[in-house]
């Protein structure tokens, strides 16, 4: 399998929807999954299952497709660069490497004019942690620099539990100052060397650090809409993006915008685009990679996307009777695991 084939690292729901979008325009898909049972299995044209460290198998994967993309930024630099030596990766390994490290990401973002994140400090030992916590008056969160998503790799710190971190290996952490905010939004950008399209900002509701709902349109002023879109475009320009980028933002109590994090891949908060836009985030990603073209998304109707988490999946048949519902076909139900989502219009 080679001609007109898109290689996808990761076979979860993002990979699944990418495969579905590819099939719509006659593009074949080849998935590499580290899990034997994966969401994209019944939608891709072919797949490999195994460790990313299996050199022979991974070389076969690279040789089997023309272009490549990822459904997670948490892939080793070695793997990303290995692909890019032989084939074209969307987005580039450089962009993914920035987004997979919180410290690199925040330093990069704050280097862009008029782009700001929450205040933060690099932490490599307990003494630095103590000083940082004191500076932020205990109003802060300790996070690993890498492998953080859905609340993983995060520690809440207060005066009582600070001592518990004394014997923890604190190399490669950051300390973020907590910020009071009205709401969280995200803006998705798809960009190539010539064109850029922006999906309008959506409002995100998290519980226990996991996205539960995405609301379109976001309940923000026109000025904030314009500003958030401008910032997302500015970041994508600074990255020299050729691919897709989701930008998560905080809207503070005084209407300032602070960047939370970047995701150089399709994003959970973009699932609403499948049913409420002329071209979804997945459609535009595949079109950009395979044809070099991107299309105006043109939102069609207001909606809310609601994730189905953990044991909520047991009610999916009832949900399907009432709403447009998507099953991720995951066999194992686990707490906090995203099992599907549904759309409520209006």
Mean of pLDDT values over 19-46: 97
Asked if residues 22 and 29 have their Cβ atoms less than 8 Å apart, the reply is yes
Grouping H, G, I as helix, E, B as strand and the rest as coil, residue 329 is: coil
Written as six digits, the tokens of 15 are 């990979």
Write down which residue in 160, 177, 194 finishes a domain: 177
The CA–CA distances, whole Å, from 176 to 39, 180, 199, 207, 254 equal 34, 13, 28, 19, 20
On whether both 230 and 338 belong to a single domain, the answer is yes
User: Residue 156's domain spans which residues?
Assistant: 119-177
On whether both 265 and 324 belong to a single domain, the answer is yes
On whether both 188 and 332 belong to a single domain, the answer is yes
On whether both 157 and 237 belong to a single domain, the answer is no
Rg value, the chain, Cα:
20
Percent of the chain with pLDDT strictly greater than 70: 98
Q: What is the CATH number of the domain that holds 76?
A: 3.40.50.20
In whole angstroms, what separates CA 325 from the centre of its chain? Answer: 21
On whether both 45 and 131 belong to a single domain, the answer is no
- Tally the domains of the chain: 3
Q: Which of 51, 54, 175 is nearest to 121 (CA)?
A: 175
Instruction: With respect to residue 98, please indicate whether it lies within any of the assigned structural domains.
Output: no
Write down which residue in 132, 152, 177 finishes a domain: 177
Residues 77-96: pLDDT tens digits?
999 999 999 999 999 999 99
On whether both 156 and 190 belong to a single domain, the answer is no
Residues 202-227: pLDDT tens digits?
999 999 889 999 999 999 999 999 99
Alpha helices in 252-315 (DSSP H): 273-276, 281-291
pTM exceeds 0.85: yes
On whether both 192 and 338 belong to a single domain, the answer is yes
Instruction: With respect to residue 105, please indicate whether it lies within any of the assigned structural domains.
Output: no
Reduce the secondary structure of 191-202 to three states and give it as a string. Answer: ECCCCEEEEEEE
On whether both 131 and 202 belong to a single domain, the answer is no
Q: Which of 316, 342, 343, 10 is nearest to 149 (CA)?
A: 10
């Amino acid at each position: 399998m080679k001609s007109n084939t898109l290689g996808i690292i990761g076979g979860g729901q993002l990979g699944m929807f990418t495969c579905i979008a590819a099939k719509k325009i006659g593009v074949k898909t080849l998935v590499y999954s580290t899990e034997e049972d994966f969401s994209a299995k019944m939608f891709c044209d072919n797949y490999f299952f195994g460790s990313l460290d299996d050199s022979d198998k991974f070389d076969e994967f690279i040789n089997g497709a023309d272009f490549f993309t990822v459904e997670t930024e948490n892939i080793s630099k070695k793997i990303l660069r290995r692909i890019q030596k032989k084939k074209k990766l969307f987005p580039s390994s450089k962009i993914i490497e920035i987004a997979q490290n919180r410290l690199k990401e925040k330093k990069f973002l704050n280097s862009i004019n008029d782009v700001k994140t929450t205040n933060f400090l690099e932490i490599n030992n307990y003494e630095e942690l103590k000083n940082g916590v004191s500076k932020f008056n205990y109003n802060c969160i300790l996070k690993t620099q890498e492998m953080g998503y859905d609340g993983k790799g995060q520690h809440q710190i207060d005066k009582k539990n600070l001592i518990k971190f004394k014997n923890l290996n604190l190399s490669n952490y950051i300390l973020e100052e907590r910020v009071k905010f009205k709401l969280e939004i995200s803006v998705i950008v798809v960009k190539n060397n010539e064109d850029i399209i922006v999906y309008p900002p959506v409002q995100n509701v998290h519980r226990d650090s996991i996205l539960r709902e995405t609301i379109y349109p976001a309940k923000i002023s026109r000025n904030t809409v314009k500003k958030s879109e401008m910032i997302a475009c500015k970041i994508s320009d600074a990255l020299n993006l050729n691919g897709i980028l989701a930008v998560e933002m905080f809207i503070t109590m005084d209407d300032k915008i602070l960047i939370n994090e970047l995701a150089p891949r399709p994003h959970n908060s973009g699932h609403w685009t499948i049913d409420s836009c002329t071209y979804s985030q997945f459609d535009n990603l595949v079109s950009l990679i395979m044809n070099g073209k991107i299309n105006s998304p043109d939102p069609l109707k207001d909606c809310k996307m609601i994730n189905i988490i953990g044991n909520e999946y047991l009610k999916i048949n009832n949900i399907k009777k009432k709403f447009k519902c998507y099953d991720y076909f995951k066999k194992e139900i686990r707490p906090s695991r995203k099992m599907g989502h549904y759309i409520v219009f209006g």
